[in-house]
């Protein structure tokens, strides 16, 4: 058994020689670089604290004190980095083209998705938003597989109506949450991906289906390493 587990609502990934963390409890990102980044693999891989070097043991004690790591228990999570692959294609431009000819027949579903998304975002911290989005996916009936083409068409309908409901300056988090809820209402279990980059530091999120980005350009999201997928 590993000597340490990851605390609830803490997520991390390896990127550019560093380890970047998302603390959903506090809605913040932080990173370890340099010497601490070199010590972290030692902490991840050990199953006995006495096997750690002195520096790694001190760093592990620090991570325990600040609540990033926990001693193994029934409710803790394995200490593993996010391994989600970066997307290799995007349907965003196609969806934008289809949006020009989309019929305005989705107002009811859009308004429902908007109300649910706005309420979730307004009433909860990032941890609560993540939990709510997971419930939306879990509540989509299983066995009703949808094609990427259908997901693209539904995204086009979303894009055709979205400008009437919020501006393009709205944060990517809300835009993606809103799209995910809209798609879930049509039985499409899209993936909400959070990504980070180190230099310069940045965080971004987008929606994917079947490995294809739905609401952003591939060249943009490709610069971010996935740290959390929902």
> Does one domain contain both 99 and 212?
yes
pLDDT confidence of residue 149? 96
Enumerate the β-bridge partners of residue 10.
23
In whole angstroms, what separates CA 9 from the centre of its chain? 12
Position 25 in a domain? yes
Sites in the chain below the pLDDT cut of 70: 74-76, 143-144, 167-170
Would you state the structure tokens that stand for residue 47, as one six-digit string? 């199953």
Check: pTM over 0.95? Answer yes or no.
Answer: no
Position 84 in a domain? no
pLDDT confidence of residue 64? 96
Place of tokens 């109506």: 161
pLDDT confidence of residue 5? 93
> Does one domain contain both 47 and 120?
no
pLDDT confidence of residue 163? 86
pLDDT confidence of residue 1? 73
- Give me the number of domains the chain comprises: 2
> Does one domain contain both 114 and 160?
yes
Separation between Cα atoms, residue 92 and residue 195, nearest integer Å:
18
pLDDT confidence of residue 77? 79
Of 22, 57, 78, which residue sits at a domain end? 78
Answer yes or no: are the C-beta atoms of 3 and 46 closer than 8 Å: yes
pLDDT confidence of residue 153? 95
Of 30, 56, 78, which residue sits at a domain end? 78
CB neighbours of 184 closer than 8 A, spacing ≥ 6? 136, 137, 139, 140, 190
pLDDT confidence of residue 170? 55
Answer yes or no: are the C-beta atoms of 72 and 197 closer than 8 Å: no
pLDDT confidence of residue 168? 60
- pLDDT per position as a tens digit, 172-220: 999 999 999 999 999 999 999 999 999 889 999 999 999 999 999 999 9
pLDDT confidence of residue 169? 57
Answer yes or no: are the C-beta atoms of 16 and 201 closer than 8 Å: no
pLDDT confidence of residue 74? 57
- Domain encompassing residue 198: 89-229
> Does one domain contain both 14 and 93?
no
């Amino acid at each position: 058994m590993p000597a340490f587990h990851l605390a609830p609502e803490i997520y991390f990934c390896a990127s550019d020689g560093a380890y970047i963390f998302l603390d959903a409890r506090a809605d913040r990102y932080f990173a370890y670089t340099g010497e601490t980044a070199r010590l972290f693999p030692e902490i991840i891989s050990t199953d006995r604290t006495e096997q750690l070097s002195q520096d790694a043991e001190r760093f592990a004690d620090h991570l325990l004190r600040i609540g990033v790591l926990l001693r193994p228990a029934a409710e803790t999570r394995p200490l593993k980095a996010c391994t989600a692959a970066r997307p290799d294609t995007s349907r965003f431009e196609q969806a934008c083209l289809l949006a020009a000819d989309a019929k305005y027949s989705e107002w009811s579903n859009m308004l429902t998705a908007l109300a649910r998304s706005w309420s979730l975002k307004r009433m909860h911290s990032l941890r609560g938003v993540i939990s709510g989005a997971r419930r939306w996916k879990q509540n989509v009936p299983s066995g009703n597989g949808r094609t990427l083409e259908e997901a693209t068409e539904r995204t086009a309908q979303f894009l055709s109506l979205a400008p009437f409901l919020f501006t393009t300056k709205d944060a990517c988090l809300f835009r993606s949450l809103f799209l995910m809820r809209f798609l879930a209402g049509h039985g499409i279990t899209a993936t909400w991906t959070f990504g980070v980059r180190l230099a310069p530091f940045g965080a971004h999120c987008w929606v994917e289906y079947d490995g294809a980005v739905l609401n952003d350009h591939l060249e943009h999201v490709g610069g971010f390493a996935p740290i959390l997928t929902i």
